[in-house]
Amino acid sequence: MQINLISVGSRMPGWVQQGYEKYARRLPRECELVLKEIAPGKRGKSSDIARIVKDEGERMMAAIPQGGHVVILDIPGQSWTTPELAQAMKRWLESGQHIAVLAGGPEGLPDFVKQRAHESWSLSNLTFPHPLVRILVAEQLYRAWSILHNHPYHRE
C-alpha cells in the first residue's frame, strides 16, 4: 500500500520539508508515504476563486492513484483519536488499495472532490497552516503505524 498525501501548495520552507521527511522516511515500504504537491492557482484581488479551486480540485483528482481509496482532510470530517487512526490504517492496509489523503488550498476542497471521498478526516476544529498540516499528517500516520506494530514511538 502507498499513502499519497496530495496537497495544494509548493515551495515550502526547509523546516516543513525536514519535518515531513522525518516521519515519512520512518514508515516502511508496506505503507510508504508519498507527497504529491499541487501548485496553487494565482490569487489576487480580481481572481476568479471558484475557477482556481475547481482547477486545483481537477489536478488533485488526476493525482489520485487509479482505484485509490480517497480520504479528504476537512474540518467537519471524522475526528479520530490516534488509536482510531491506527484502526483506520489497519483497515487500509488490509484493503490492499493505495490511499490518497487530500489537503485542499486556502478555500478548501471543491464539492466534486468531496463527493469522490470515501472518508473525511478532521485533524481538529482548528484551522492549521498548510505547511503544518503536512507534518501533522506524516507524524500521525507514523504514530498510527507504531501502534499497530507495538513500536515504542507511541509511548515516548
> Would you say 104 is a known binding-site residue?
yes
pLDDT in tens, 44-54: 888 899 999 99
> Would you say 128 is a known binding-site residue?
yes
> Would you say 105 is a known binding-site residue?
no
> Would you say 126 is a known binding-site residue?
yes
State if pTM tops 0.85.
yes
Task: Return the number of other C-beta atoms located less than 10 Å from residue 96's C-beta.
Answer: 9
Given a cut of 50, the residues of the chain with pLDDT beneath it are none
The residues that bridge with 70 in the sheet, in sequence order, are: 100
- The residue to which cell 490511499 is assigned: 99
DSSP state of 84: H
pLDDT in tens, 85-99: 999 999 999 999 999
* CA 121 – CA 138 distance, rounded (Å): 14
